[in-house]
């Protein structure tokens, strides 16, 4: 695993698991928790929140990013996403773009399930040639 010490990893795992226990997913029954590590070393967590009007629901990563921004965080260093397994979870396209707003590419994206860590990538691997804040500085 690239630069993240074991204590931080355990902190992200615990925060994502706890957030996942709050998931509101009565339609898909697919509970997700996410934990974002910010530039100050703080962890912000969130769960997916579905809606009876299906398209209005949103992902755990989005909730966690909202918590980070509300706490004053402006850079994401790592995000751990925990799904139910057994298929390895991976952030949806919309969340990849939302994460991109707060990191230019070296963001570590870690996929987990209740049994532990299953995979990891950089955001650059998941969203190559991305559109970002730099494009609007023309």
Residue 35 has phi, psi (to 5 degrees) of: -135, 125
Closest CB to ligand THU among residues 24, 40: 24
Kindly tell me which residue out of 12, 36, 38, 48 binds ligand THU, with binding defined by CB under 6 A: 48
What is the Cα 111 distance to its own chain's centre? Answer: 9
Kindly tell me which residue out of 43, 91, 99, 123 binds ligand THU, with binding defined by CB under 6 A: 91
Question: Is residue 45 within 8 Å of residue 16, measured between CB atoms?
Answer: yes
Q: How far is the CA of 135 from the CAs of 56, 125, 129, in angstroms?
A: 28, 19, 12
The answer to whether 87 is a known catalytic residue is no
Tell me if 40 contacts ligand THU by CB under 6 A: no
| Contacting positions for ligand THU (CB under 6 A) | 25, 28, 30, 32, 48, 50, 57, 59-61, 81, 89, 91-92, 95
């Amino acid at each position: 695993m690239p630069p993240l010490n074991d204590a931080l990893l355990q902190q992200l795992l615990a925060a994502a698991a706890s957030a996942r226990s709050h998931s509101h997913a009565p339609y898909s029954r697919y509970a997700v928790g996410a934990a974002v590590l910010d530039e100050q070393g703080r962890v912000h967590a969130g769960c997916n929140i579905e809606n009876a009007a299906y398209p209005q629901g949103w992902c755990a990563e989005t909730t966690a990013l909202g918590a980070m921004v509300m706490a004053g965080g402006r850079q994401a260093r790592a995000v751990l996403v925990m799904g139910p397994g057994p298929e390895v979870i991976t952030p949806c396209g919309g969340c990849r773009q939302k994460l991109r707003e707060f990191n230019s590419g070296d963001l570590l994206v870690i996929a987990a399930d209740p049994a532990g860590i299953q995979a990891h990538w950089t955001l650059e691997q998941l969203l190559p040639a991305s559109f970002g804040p730099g494009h609007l500085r023309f």
